[in-house]
Amino acid sequence: MKIKPNVIIDSYVQDQIPKLKTVNSRDLESMFESFTPEDLVTESGMTAEDLIDSFRLSLITESLTDQYSKTFQLGAQMYGAQWLQDYVLGFWEPDEYGHADPFKNILVDFGINETNLKLDIEEAKQGVEYQTKHTSGFHPIALTTYGMIQECITDYWYELQRGFFPANSNTSKVISKVKGREALHTVQFRNLTALQLEADPALLTEVINATTTFQMPSNHIPNVSDIEEKTQEWIPKMNGSVIELLARIVANLNLALDDNKKLGKLLIEYATAGEQKFIDQVPNTLVKKALNTFPGSHGIVGEAMLEQLGLTTHEQEVPMNLLEKIQFNLRKSLKRYVYEKLDVEGFLKKSESPLGPSGLS
């Protein structure tokens, strides 16, 4: 099955390719500053061993760029999306190639044997073929949605890792450069998702499926999957906030969807698929059925979530006639109820079901 060529999407991709910028050797050589993990964790809840593992996770995950690239290329070929192939091969893949080296240098600076790190990387590459584990679908919009969420999470993770080092250190500056590229990738994938959805609104189902089945790649890499399982509990210890991460993901989804109703529907489907708590003390299936019954209720859920997370919402204008006032007040009452009952933290709890998503980790 092929998707129709889109001149706007192709033009966007061609505009991005000249922005390619890799980490240079001078940056990498400046990183050996004799930091010790024991000193770096003093103002956090992490142990020295935890910190080393966190950077090992970053190194190994970044080292499998080839496999992630093949996954995107497979989807591009299946659907005849030349623009996706061009973006991945012309920008994303070469941009990502230099991201592993900074984390390798940090670990070497910590005293970890470089030969052992190379063996770890080789073991990871031999231990998985990521394209066979990818669960978020191969449609181009599913892949760009997946890329948006994955890059958003990675961007925040590197922000937290950067925080362990003095702001004026070369190591902090290099991590900032890598983080900046992940932030750019987040925006690019988000824009590609938005452009596809604008061209074909029916693709919302693919966006929802990609979100509800999302898992970070490291869940499937045997020699770091045990570290991946700890990341959500580590975030507060790294002076971060899982709620802040959720807010960033939802903000990007909101910008890509550009519609509170679509966002609300996505959130409901995500909560139901993963058995995450949604409305306090009410079963998800009942909430979903009720919301599907009342027109406009999905938009209320989207607005309530955005407000709960401190994100901007577009409020309706004050109604003028009597009917508009009645509708406005009814909607306002329902929104207040949803806002008060919405369990934001319930979205962060991992599903115990093997078929459900893995939360944010």
Tell the residue number behind the tokens 């997946």, with chain if given.
Answer: 146
Of 236, 203, 252, 228, the closest CA to residue 359 belongs to 228
**C-alpha to C-alpha distance for 96 and 167, rounded to whole angstroms:** 24
Tell the residue number behind the tokens 């004799």, with chain if given.
Answer: 34
Q: Which residues pair with 279 in a beta bridge?
A: 342
Core vs surface per residue 9-28: b (16+ CB within 10 A) or e: bbebbeebeeeeeebeeebb
- How buried is residue 232: exposed, middle or buried, by Cβ count under 10 Å (0-12/13-18/19+)? middle
Of 113, 92, 361, the closest CA to residue 215 belongs to 361
Q: Which residues pair with 342 in a beta bridge?
A: 279
Of 87, 233, 86, the closest CA to residue 151 belongs to 87
Q: Which amino acid is at 275?
A: E
CB 131 within 8 A of CB 31: no
- DSSP notation for 67-103: HHHHHHHHHHHHTT-HHHHHHIIIIIHHHHHTTHHHH
**C-alpha to C-alpha distance for 111 and 105, rounded to whole angstroms:** 10
pLDDT in tens, the chain (361 residues): 565 658 899 999 999 999 888 788 888 889 999 999 999 999 999 999 999 999 999 999 999 999 999 999 999 999 999 999 999 999 999 999 889 999 999 999 999 999 999 999 999 999 999 999 999 999 999 999 999 999 999 999 999 999 999 999 999 999 999 999 999 999 999 999 999 999 999 999 999 999 989 999 999 999 999 999 999 899 999 999 988 998 999 999 999 999 988 988 888 787 777 555 555 555 556 555 656 655 566 677 777 777 777 776 555 555 566 655 655 555 565 566 555 555 555 555 544 332 233 333 3
